[in-house]
Amino acid sequence: MRDASRRAAAHNFIMGTEQKYDSMVDDRGIKLSGGQKQRIAIACAFLKDASILVLGEATSALDSETEIAIQKSFDELARGRTTLAIARRLSTLRNMDRIVVLNAGNIVEYSTHNQLLRRGGEYARLWKMQSGGFLQEQI
């Protein structure tokens, strides 16, 4: 459990609680922040060690620094298993073997992160917005 918590970047905040790994958390995690809840869920995924992993907005409540810390863990967690990751934060998907871009329920493009950036399509447009660029307002 401690190893899974370290790999999910949860160990430090757990050790900062009064009862550490013996802390009680209610079933809805009311005492935890959104990011802490997500890191606990990621630690549980490490413990489960399932052959299929489904991540739904796995890093949406994490700050960028924590996301970077657990991204390496995701890479390790995904190795050797089928992983389906649904994310609006594109940096979460960067190392996936295949990224499928949907628009209005339709597949508009799919490939790797680098290939999608080179194509300059919808994914590249969204990546540019999320990585500091801004779209010009259309008149």
How much is the pTM?
A: 0.66
Q: What is the DSSP string of the chain?
A: -HHHHHHTT-HHHHHTSTTGGG----TT-TTS-HHHHHHHHHHHHHHH--SEEEEESTTTTS-HHHHHHHHHHHHHHHTTSEEEEE-SSGGGTTT-S-EEEEETTEEEEEE-HHHHHHHTSHHHHHHHHHTT--PPPP-
Fold for 2-87, please state it.
Answer: Rossmann fold (3.40.50)
Q: Start-end ranges of CATH 3.40.50.300 in the chain?
A: 2-87
What does each of the 139 residues of the chain score in pLDDT, given as a tens digit?
A: 898 888 888 898 888 888 888 887 766 656 787 778 778 888 888 888 888 888 777 666 667 777 776 777 777 777 888 888 888 778 778 888 899 999 999 999 999 999 999 999 999 998 988 877 554 444 4
